[in-house]
Amino acid sequence: MKLVRFGEAGNEKPGVLIDNERKDCSAYFKDWNRDFFNNNGLFQLKQILEKQTDFLPVVDEDVRWSAPIARPGMIMCIGLNYSDHAKESGMPVPSEPILFMKPTNTIRGAYDTVAIPKASLKSDWEVELGIVLNKDCLYLENEQAAWDAIAGYCVVNDLSERAFQLERGGQWVKGKAAPGFTPVGPYLATADEIPDVMNLKMQLWKNGVQMQNGNTSTMVFGPGHLVHYISQFMQMEAGDLITTGTPPGVALGMKVPEYLREGDIVELEIDGLGSQKQIFKSYNASTNV
C-alpha cells in the first residue's frame, strides 16, 4: 500500500495512491497518525482496499500533496550513516549510530516551496531513506522485533544549514531546524512494498545536474539495527519518523561548495518510493516562505 495525505496545510486528509491516482480515505480514517498505526490501522486499511476501490473518491490532481504522515512525536536522525558520505565529509565511520533530532514542525510536503533560512549562506541538500514506525517501541529485544515495528518507508530531504550546524558550536540541531527543512513523501510505501530495502538507488539533482547517486547498500547501520538501537535509549512512538543518513554528493563535500540559493530547484528520488521537487526561495517574514 502507498499512503498519502492531501490538502492545504492544517487541513490535510488521508488517502492512498492506486495506479498513480490518489483516493480519499477520510470517510474511514481520521489521519495517518499515532492512533492509526498503534491500533492496527494498516491491517484495517488493507481489508478495505481488498474490496473494490471504486467507492473511494478520487482526489483532484491540482490538490496539494502533503507529507504522507501526520506530524509525528519525533523526528530521529542518523548522522554519517553512509560509509562513502563519511569519507567525503572527512569524518570517521561511526562505531555506533550518531543520533540527533529535528523539530517536527520542519515537515513539509514533497513538492512544497522551501525558504532558505534568514542569514543562511550554506543551506545543503541530503536525500535520505525515511522509516515510519507502526507501534510504540521501547527496549526491543532484538532486530527482528525492530523490523516488525516498521510500518514503511519514504523519501526525505534532510536539509541542513552547514554554518549553523558546524560553525556555531553545540549540537547539530541548529543547522537542521529551519521551517520546511524536512520535505517528506510523496507517499509512504508499506514495508511489504519494498522487498530489499538495503538495495535502493538514491538520486538527487540540483537545477538538472546530478549531485547524489548512491544506494542504501552503503548504509553502515540498516533499518532493523537502527530501530532496535534507538529503542534502548528512549521510547519511540507509532508514526514517528527516522531519517537514516545520506550518500555522498552534498554541497559540503565539494571542493568548492555550491550551496542553495534563491530559485534553485532540487529533485530527488529513491527506487520504489517516488520523487520530490522543491523550489527554494529567500526567507520572507510575512509568509515564512
**CB environment 92-111: b (16+ within 10 A), e (fewer):** eebeebbebebeeebbbbbb
Cα gap 206→124, rounded to integer Å: 11
The predicted pLDDT at position 52 comes to 76
| pLDDT tens-place string over residues 91-146 | 788 899 999 999 999 999 999 999 999 999 999 999 999 999 999 999 999 999 99
287 band by pLDDT with thresholds 50, 70 and 90:
low
Kindly report the pTM of this predicted structure: 0.95
- Cell numbers linked to 138: 521501547
SS3 label, residue 192: helix
Q: Is 134 left (phi over 0), alpha (psi -120 to 50) or beta?
A: alpha
Give the phi and the psi of residue 253 in degrees, each rounded to 5: -85, 0
The burial class, CB within 10 Å (0-12 / 13-18 / 19+), for 149 is buried
| pLDDT tens-place string over residues 199-212 | 999 999 999 999 99
User: Of 230, 214, 191, 209, which Cα lies nearest the Cα of 270?
Assistant: 214
The predicted pLDDT at position 199 comes to 98
The predicted pLDDT at position 117 comes to 95
- For 70-282, give the CATH class: alpha beta
Percent of the chain scoring above 90 in pLDDT: 88
Q: For residue 156, what are the contacts with CB-CB under 8 A and spacing of at least 6? A: 127, 128, 129, 130, 182, 183, 184, 241, 243
Q: Give the number of other CB atoms < 10 A from CB of residue 33.
A: 19
The predicted pLDDT at position 171 comes to 81
SS3 label, residue 209: strand
Contact, 96 vs 78, CB < 8 A?
no
Residues belonging to the chain? 289
Mean pLDDT of the chain: 94
The predicted pLDDT at position 230 comes to 98
Cα gap 118→274, rounded to integer Å: 30
Angle, CA of 267, 272 and 275, to the nearest 5°: 15
Question: Which residues lie across from 137 on neighbouring strands?
Answer: 236
Residue 80, Cα to own-chain centre: how many angstroms?
16
Cα gap 125→182, rounded to integer Å: 10
53 band by pLDDT with thresholds 50, 70 and 90:
confident
Q: Kindly tell me if the per-residue pLDDT of 289 is higher than 70.
A: no
Give the phi and the psi of residue 144 in degrees, each rounded to 5: -60, -40
The predicted pLDDT at position 175 comes to 92
The predicted pLDDT at position 284 comes to 80
3 band by pLDDT with thresholds 50, 70 and 90:
very high
Helix-strand-coil split of the chain, %, nearest 5: 20, 30, 50
